[in-house]
Amino acid sequence: MKPNELVSALNYLWDANVPAIIWGDAGVGKSDIVKQVGAKQDVPVVDLRLATQEVGDLIGIPYHDPETGRTNWGKPSWWLDAPEWLLFLDEVNRAPKEVVQAIFQLVLDRRLATHELPPGVRIVAACNPPEGDYVTDSLDPALNSRFVHIRLDANAEQWIDNCNSFIDPSVLGYIASAPNQLNDLNTNFDLQTVARKTPRTWHMAGKIYKAMENDVDTPQGRATLQTLLTGTVGPAAAHDYIRSLDRSWTKPLDIVKGKKTYKEVRKDAADLKRLCIILPASLPDDILRDSKGNLDTERRDNLQKFLENLLNDHDDLGIAVLRRLTKSGNVHQDIRKAISKSKSLFGAMKRLHY
């Protein structure tokens, strides 16, 4: 990703509240870009060079509180008493192992010892690629799964634009004529070695999509989404997920509202399978949200007909949906009515000890 593209990407991640790690060579501009994001969001930036930190520098000095009789930790000087700020964790893979262990809790739980980050604080980290001339340690996969990974590449044109006020014109002119001379340290680091599919990273992917939802239909937005998800769940899964966005999948509410019937959905086996998996999980909440807590007779009948046809056509699949739909003791009353009014559904539920 080019520097200017990274600024835009990090602003999306700010909205999604998802931590990011920037992988890039020394001097490529990681710190400057993070400062630009802080300026864009109008928040202070706290820059921690973890290679020079100890655990005590992060969590503060312990002291005895005479009022409680317990040990507390004094907040370190870098911890701001402000509702919003950007915490930049630089040189993560050069840090002592004890420091890396400490930031596990900071990134996942947003806590360090007794200190808790305010909701408005965002986290961005940075690493040098674990190859070439760099002396670095590999990061634990559990830590990697807490971040969106973004590779920052040196770009001659943008470097010239960003540095024209303080670098001699003769140097700028030379790099303009020979852009391949800008960086000797450029590596071929592959994000696939750190970005993996896990339940946690798919949760992050959903937050990223939600933050970008209004822009994903534009070419630039789609490209940025592809890059961010590549650094979250890996390139193959990101590509497949983005392709799925263009499918006209049936939503549970399409069934309840009568926009689609079972006969229409069954024509696409993949759509039917997907619908049966997500329907029990999303339907009760969708009912409450869309119907203000109650289903009218028409919507209840639409749900009943869909479940009857599913059970008649695919007995095992129908039973599985009914089991998941009613496994909670707090089954929505209108779902219970839709099932109890049907002899076939009620009979199936009796077999499940409903």
pLDDT of residue 192: 84
Calculate what percentage of the chain has a pLDDT beyond 90. 47
Q: How far apart are CA 151 and CA 231, in angstroms?
A: 8
Report the mean per-residue pLDDT for the chain: 87
Q: What is residue 287's predicted lDDT score, i.e. its pLDDT? A: 65
Q: What is the pLDDT of residue 159?
A: 83
Domains of the chain (ranges, CATH numbers)? 3-196 (3.40.50.300), 252-351 (no CATH)
Give the pLDDT of residue 348: 79
Q: Is the pLDDT of residue 328 over 80?
A: no
pTM metric for this prediction? 0.84
What residue has token string 């559990």?
142
Tens digits of per-residue pLDDT, 148-199?
Answer: 999 988 888 888 887 777 889 999 999 999 998 988 765 667 888 899 999 9
Would you call 226 helix, strand, or coil by DSSP?
helix
Question: DSSP 3-state assignment of 151?
Answer: strand
258, with CB counted inside 10 A (0-12, 13-18, 19+), is middle
Higher pLDDT, 306 or 282: 306
At 270, the pLDDT band (50, 70, 90 cuts) reads: very high
Q: Using CA atoms, how far apart are residues 176 and 195, in angstroms rounded to an integer?
A: 34
The pairing of beta strand 20-23 with beta strand 122-127: parallel
Question: Is the pLDDT assigned to residue 108 strictly greater than 60?
Answer: yes
Query: Is residue 354's pLDDT more than 60?
Result: no
